[in-house]
Amino acid sequence: MNDTSLTPAPVTPPALLAAIDLGSNSFHMVVAQLVDGETKLQDVMSEKVQLAAGLDADKVLSEEAQQRGLECLARFAQRVADLPRRSIRIVGTNALREAVNSREFLERAEGILRKPLEIIPGREEARLIYLGVCQTRPPEDGLRLVIDIGGGSTELVLGEKFQPRALESLEMGCVSFTQRYFPDGRISKASFQKATYAALRELMSIQKGYRRIGWSNCVGSSGTIKAIRNACISLGLTEEHITARALDQLRQRILSYDHVDDITEVKAERRAVLPAGLAILSAAFDSLGIRVMACSEGALREGLLFEMAGRLQLEDIRERSINMLKRRYHVDRPQAERVERCALQALAQLRDSWGLDDPQHAQMLRWAAHTHEIGRAISHAQYHKHSAYLLQNSDIAGFTNLDRQQLALLARSHRRKFPKDDFKQLPDSRQQACRRLAVLLRLACLLNRNRSRIRLPHLQLQVDGKQLQLNFPDGWLEQHPLTQADLEQEAEYLKALGLTLQVN
């Protein structure tokens, strides 16, 4: 192996960026131009898909709901057809987190968009929403409370400037609550009260903590809260912001109606979900003691654009997250760097033969090299399994569910028996690349088992079909019998992949 590093270098950002948000209620897309590090909006598309309405009691997403989503994405795909794939990011939220058959939908959607989709965890969604709000609101001193009511979940964030301090995603949304408490569109005080009490119960988990920290200003984002704000303004209940008094007056007015079709204060597409959204927001005001809430034009998709621009200029939140994990679990940094260097040198030699030329492959291998040993903080015995558990179940800012799953699989498979069946949990399009990255990580860990500061000699890796050949300088292996024995055992392990390891 030569000593060439694959650490990503700055790239020239594309002229246009596109962010697509597959929400539980609506699908949104924004296209923006990147100018001097700033994003300037060029196009916006939004369609009410109500994906969450297609989830049955067993969390199966119906074919009808999937078709609504796919037809919408076909229209979005035409708009971004000429954009480079690296300038597009597509994320799914609560409905796709909940659906047991979400992989089926993702594979069909990827066929339309020709770009992988990511399902992001609730707290990651909250973080991106917060970034979107900060991008589109003037800076203010002190802590800010941001609330976003979506179709299937509600995100609440406390932060200062661009740094969130508390993130939460609660299982309550305007679509899911509409199905539960207003299924036939009829409005009653009893159903509204049940929805409000349910929201208050959800908020109990964060009420004390958020009120103890406190905030200087409160901002709401996304369609439901903006619809409530606009209704309050149109009725003359407030001039600009949502106040507790205006919210209560709007609630009394909505409760005077018998059916959602009677609501004229909001656009027709918002009427069905307004009572549920109003109940959730009223509960948030009561539980957290909110008196005034401003509204933001930015939300999840603006946060995605902001982060995409940062990643292209090497300001990647994921690097910060990996460093935080290393500190938290007391990773042996010199060893992590040795494994990283060795793994990336191996990748440099095999990336063309193995189709690992996407920059994301190098990034994932780097992150795995720095986190594969975090399980040692729990126990040395079976620490690779502990590492996998921590990576799979931790909230890691900037990482999607699929990112964490791949990282956990690499940690799980870096030593001992190769868990080839575990990789079937990944989408078909990701399995082979992840298995091959795991092989490179395994070899890098094995060759650096003695944790020596002395650099390895010049090694060569070649692949020919199912045969992987590793060549050492003459006489080196004879002087390192432990490495030789480890490689013989590794050859047995790799047979599970149908891969023959030949060592010379």
User: Which tens digits make up the pLDDT trace of 249-303?
Assistant: 999 999 999 999 999 999 998 999 999 999 999 999 999 999 999 999 889 999 9
**pLDDT value, residue 3:** 43
The stretch 341-355 carries a mean pLDDT of: 95
Using alpha carbons only, give the angle 244, 245, 251 rounded to the nearest 5 degrees. Answer: 90
Confidence of residue 459 (pLDDT cuts 50, 70, 90): confident
**pLDDT value, residue 295:** 93
Q: Give me the percent of the chain exceeding a pLDDT of 70.
A: 95
Q: pLDDT digits over 422-440, tens only?
A: 999 988 888 999 999 999 9
**pLDDT value, residue 129:** 96
Same fold, 138-295 and 316-454: no
d(C-alpha 129, C-alpha 300), whole Å = 4
Confidence of residue 35 (pLDDT cuts 50, 70, 90): confident
Confidence of residue 15 (pLDDT cuts 50, 70, 90): confident
56 versus 459: which is more confidently predicted? 56
Q: What is the mean pLDDT of the chain?
A: 92
**pLDDT value, residue 399:** 85
**pLDDT value, residue 34:** 77
Q: Which CATH number fits domain 138-295: 3.40.1020.10, 3.40.50.300, 3.30.420.150, 3.40.1010.10?
A: 3.30.420.150
**pLDDT value, residue 36:** 64
Judged against a pLDDT cut of 50, whether residue 7 lies above it is answered with no
Q: Render 210-222 in DSSP notation, one character per residue.
A: HHHH--SEEEEES
Q: Where does residue 431 fall: left (phi above 0), alpha (psi -120 to 50 degrees), or beta otherwise?
A: alpha
Judged against a pLDDT cut of 90, whether residue 306 lies above it is answered with no
Domain ranges of the chain: 16-119, 138-295, 316-454
Q: At what angle do helices 333-350 and 359-371 cross, to 10 degrees?
A: 150
**pLDDT value, residue 264:** 93
Q: pLDDT digits over 374-432, tens only?
A: 999 999 999 999 999 999 999 887 787 888 999 999 999 999 999 999 999 988 888 99
The stretch 119-133 carries a mean pLDDT of: 94
Three-state DSSP at 457 gives coil
Max Cα separation, the chain? 89
Q: Which residues contact 216 (CB under 8 A, 6 or more apart)?
A: 140, 141, 142, 143, 144
Structural fold of domain 316-454: Hypothetical protein af1432 (1.10.3210)
**pLDDT value, residue 1:** 57
Q: pLDDT digits over 145-180, tens only?
A: 999 999 999 999 999 988 999 999 999 999 999 999
Confidence of residue 38 (pLDDT cuts 50, 70, 90): low
**pLDDT value, residue 383:** 96
Confidence of residue 367 (pLDDT cuts 50, 70, 90): very high
Superfamily of domain 16-119: ATPase, nucleotide binding domain (3.30.420.40)
According to DSSP, the residues that pair with 348 across neighbouring strands are: none
**pLDDT value, residue 479:** 92
d(C-alpha 156, C-alpha 20), whole Å = 21
For 223, phi and psi rounded to 5 degrees?
-60, -40
C-beta separation of 153 from 174 below 8 A: no
Residue environment code for 324-363, b if the CB has 16+ CB neighbours within 10 A, otherwise e: ebbeebebeeebbebbbbbbbbbbbbbbeebebeeeebbb
